[in-house]
Amino acid sequence: MQYLAALALASASDTARAKTLADDLDKRFPEDTWVQYNFLPSINATLALSRKDEAQAVEILQHAAPYWGVVDPVYVRGEAYLTAHQGSQAAAEFQKILDHRGSLRDSPLGALTRLQLARAYVMQGDATKAEAAYQDFLTLWKDADPDIPIYKQAKAEYARLLGSHWYETPHRHNAVKPPVL
């Protein structure tokens, strides 16, 4: 639970409290593989993202790369690539998660990965894949509270995608700029 609290605080840019919890985890579990190669890199990379330092976030997560079972480092690495406007790399990270669905169990990252994948495809200019990923996300969340901000944002992004003319340009859709998300 301490890990999740630290990750949530890091996501909310509460650097001091997230760092305190991370330091405590590091001190109490110096030889724990999950803590050292999944939890702490995810927390520290999320803190780097809150400082708009995508390059540092990706670097921190390189140490987490060989360890599978916890999807957070891969997800945060995907977020770092999205923030750095590297759609292809972001899509590759999010696709890794979907390719290992058993690792998701009942994690909310399963649905959010589909949304982030859609955003990565938009960034790449691939409207067909973006549309499919948005549909996957919206289908999973069809019974969600309609006032959840990320759900409302995803619906608006999807509507812009469907309403944009670049989507319908048959021969040059990659040459035309995708809608701004």
The whole-number average pLDDT for the span 154-176 is: 66
Tell me the C-alpha distance between 7 and 13, whole Å. Answer: 10
Residues 55 and 133 in one domain: no
Is the pLDDT assigned to residue 178 strictly greater than 50?
no
Q: Collapsing DSSP states into helix, strand and coil, what is residue 33?
A: helix
- In the chain, the amino acid numbered 127 is A
Name every residue whose Cβ is closer than 8 Å to that of residue 166 and which is 6 or more positions away in sequence: 125, 127, 173, 176, 177, 178, 179
Highest average pLDDT, of 16-20, 63-67, 99-103, comes from: 16-20
Checking if the pLDDT of 115 tops 70, the result is yes
pLDDT at 170 over 50: no
d(CA 94, CA 80): 11
Q: How far apart are CA 108 and CA 102, in angstroms?
A: 13
Task: Single out the residue in 27, 49, 84 at which a domain terminates.
Answer: 84
**CA end-to-end span of the chain, whole Å?**
33
Is residue 109 a part of any domain in this protein?
yes
Indicate whether 95 belongs to any domain: no
Report if residue 30 sits inside a domain: yes
SS3 66: coil
Domain count of the chain?
A: 2
Comparing CA positions, the residue from 155, 78, 84 lying closest to residue 117 is 78
Domain hosting residue 44, numbered range: 1-84
Q: Is residue 91 in some structural domain?
A: no
Residue of higher predicted confidence among 110 and 129: 129
Same domain assignment for residues 159 and 129: yes
